[in-house]
Amino acid sequence: MWILKTNSHMTHEELWRNALQEIELATTKANFITWFKQTAIADLRDGIITLSVPNGFAREWLKSKYHKSILRAIRNLNNDIKDVEYVIGKYQPPEESRRRPSAEKRYAPEPGVVIPDEEFSLRDLSVDPDTNLNPRYVFETFIVGSFNELAHAAGQSIVKNPGTTYNPLFIYGGVGLGKTHLIQAIGNEMMKQNPTRKVRYVPAERFMGEIVEALKNQEMSRLKEKYRSVDMLIMDDIQFIARTEKMQEEFFHIFNALYERNKQILISSDRPPKSIPTLEERLRSRFEGGMIADIGQPDRETRMTILKAKADQKGIVIPEEALWYIADSIKTNVRELEGALNRIVISAKLTNSPITIEETKRILTYISQEPRRFTSVKKVLKAVAEFYDVEEKALTNHSRKKEVVKPRQIAMYLLREEMKSSFPFIGEKLGKKDHTTVIHACKKITNELKNNPMIENELQMIKEKIYEV
């Protein structure tokens, strides 16, 4: 506990630390961490405080959104303060906290504590190079309810009788409802029960990239062979291939080759075949000739079951009441359900306190108040360029200057993660780069995120900007 001194004998550090305590009470945890860590009083002269902040973004943000609260908090402690100015400065941890490392933890998360998103940090981890399947997607962790039971049952059935009963099996449903999880679980189960069978999972976009690559290097026949030799082909998000005739044609040939030999084909899409306008008739009729199963939205009980299971998997205790609160607040998307749970867990870890219903409500209110997320390529490029202080043009031309390499990779990453753009599209927008360059960039940032918590903060700040209205 700090003793609150209400006079002007406080050191700058004490003054700011006490002010931060007050500010913290009035902000959400996420905002507090994002905007107030690495801030310090750099100077106090003639009643004017100069606050040093880590970058231009933080400066603008604090000035426009928090100036009043900051001033109020400081004036409560020292009435002589007239104003606060903001400068970008290098952050020096306060003297005291250097001696007493625990003090700083109050507003700077320990490296590694802030996990942006469980799914995210685990993604791509230990993907099997032969099957391209991620071992984390299994039936054991897939919750079944009326919203997905048909798709689930059909999936189990094709593991038992691949290539015969339901071929192709076409599973469709909205974003974040478990398509990828389910089709990968089917693949993983198939491998478990028949280790000698060849299973290949491929997102349609990656498939398209491979084709482009193969055409360029005259390796088409090898690529075709690779796909024709599998026992089960799993293609995720097939709606993407409907964008070009060439891709549909290549896929059509592979499809036929597999189908004729009774090999199982498993497809996911964000909508049914008849609702993909550019899907060729011959593919549509093939798809409709098999089994089509949809995944709907989970009902309240199922949402609760999912939350309980996810909390169990993390080994954390959350009051039932809080779980119901989440289940009642987020209705349409399992990924968001999981995301909300993660945010609550992270916040509890940061404050090192048990999860309560009050805290849960506060975080969910914060999440629901986040503006509807719309952005554009233009906004992303602008925000990235501003943030790293490079010219926007430099991101989209062929400049190899060292200082644009990282911003460009960040831009690619954001276009991918936030706008779900395809790799070729991103490459095109960022100076006609090859899609493999984009894939490499996204992987690189994903990896860095695991090791360097600062990147997460940078991304957070850029994201705030790209969704600004």
Binding site for Mg ion (CB under 5 A): 179-180
Count of residues engaged in binding ligand ADP, rule: CB under 6 A: 17
Using CB under 6 A as the binding rule, whether residue 179 contacts ligand ADP is answered as: yes
226 binds ligand ADP per the rule CB under 6 A: no
Output the CA torsion 360→366→371→376 (10° steps).
-80
- Find which of ligand ADP, Mg ion, none residue 453 binds, CB within 5 to 8 Å per kind: none
Among 94, 116, 178, 187, which residue interacts with ligand ADP (rule: CB under 6 A)? 178
Rounded to the nearest whole angstrom, what is the least distance from the CB of residue 326 to Mg ion in the complex? 22
Q: What does 70 interact with, of Mg ion, ligand ADP, none (CB < 5 to 8 A by kind)?
A: none
Nearest to ligand ADP of 406, 416 (CB atom): 416
CB atoms within 10 A of CB 241: 27
**Spatial CA neighbour of 251 closest among 453, 262, 236:** 236
Integer Cα distance of 157 and 442 in angstroms:
36
- Burial of residue 127 (number of CB atoms within 10 Å: 0-12, 13-18, 19+): middle
Q: Does 142 bind ligand ADP (CB under 6 A)?
A: yes
Q: Which amino acid is at 360?
A: T
Q: Which residues neighbour 65 within 8 Å (Cβ) at sequence distance 6 or greater?
A: none
Is residue 201 close enough to count as binding ligand ADP by CB under 6 A?
Answer: no
Nearest to 158 by CA among 195, 187, 126, 132: 187
Piece of the chain touching ligand ADP by CB under 6 A; list 49-57, 158-166, 176-184, 460-468:
176-184
Regarding 306 and contact with ligand ADP (CB under 6 A), the answer is yes
Q: Which does 334 bind (CB under 5 to 8 A by kind): Mg ion, ligand ADP, none?
A: ligand ADP
The CA distance from 267 to 343, in Å, is 32
Q: Please select the residue that binds ligand ADP; options are 26, 87, 175, 454, rule is CB under 6 A.
A: 175
- Cβ partners under 8 Å of residue 222, min gap 6: 214
Q: Based on the shown chain and the rule CB under 6 A, indicate whether residue 269 belongs to the binding site for ligand ADP.
A: no
Note whether 204 binds ligand ADP by CB under 6 A.
Answer: no
With CB cut-offs between 5 and 8 Å by kind, which of Mg ion, ligand ADP, none does residue 176 bind?
Answer: ligand ADP
181 binds ligand ADP (CB under 6 A): yes
Of the candidate residues 23, 51, 53, 177, the single one contacting ligand ADP (CB under 6 A) = 177
Among 148, 167, 347, 422, indicate the residue that binds ligand ADP (CB under 6 A).
148
Count Cβ atoms within 10 A of the Cβ of residue 274 and give its class: 0-12 exposed, 13-18 middle, 19 or more buried.
Answer: exposed
Collect all residues with Cβ–Cβ distance below 8 Å to 116 and sequence separation of at least 6: 449, 456, 459
| DSSP reduced 3-state for 44 | strand
Encoded amino acid at 25, one letter? L
311 touches ligand ADP by CB under 6 A: no
Per CB under 6 A, does 327 bind ligand ADP? no
Distance CA 138, CA 54 (A): 43
Element (H, E) at 367: helix 357-369
- In the list 176, 272, 296, 431, the residue contacting ligand ADP (rule: CB under 6 A) is 176
- Residue 323 Cβ vs ligand ADP, minimum distance, rounded to whole Å: 15
Q: How far apart are CA 97 and CA 380, in angstroms?
A: 37
Q: Which is nearer to Mg ion, 420 or 443 (CB)?
A: 420
243 binds, among Mg ion, ligand ADP, none (CB under 5 to 8 A by kind): none
338 binds ligand ADP (CB under 6 A): yes
CB of 92 to Mg ion, least distance (A): 45
CB of 335 to ligand ADP, least distance (A): 4
**Using rule CB under 6 A, residue 334 touches ligand ADP:** yes
Contact residue for ligand ADP among 15, 77, 133, 143 (CB under 6 A): 143
Q: What x/- string results for residues 117 through 136 when contact with ligand ADP is judged by CB under 6 A?
A: --x-----------------
CA separation, residue 305 to residues 308, 310, 399 (Å):
5, 9, 51
Q: How many angstroms separate the first and last alpha carbons of the chain?
A: 41
Name the closest residue to Mg ion (Cβ). Answer: 180
Residue 65, helix vs strand vs coil? helix
Helices (H), 229-275: 245-260
Segment contacting ligand ADP by CB under 6 A, of 29-37, 177-185, 225-233, 241-249: 177-185
Distance CA 390, CA 67 (A): 27
Q: What are phi and psi of 10, to 5 degrees?
A: -65, 145
Q: Minimum distance between the CB of residue 139 and ligand ADP, rounded to whole angstroms? A: 10
Establish if 189 lies at the interface with ligand ADP (CB under 6 A).
no
SS3 (DSSP) at 29 = helix
Please give the residue ranges that form the binding site for ligand ADP (CB under 6 A).
119, 141-143, 148, 173, 175-181, 306, 334-335, 338
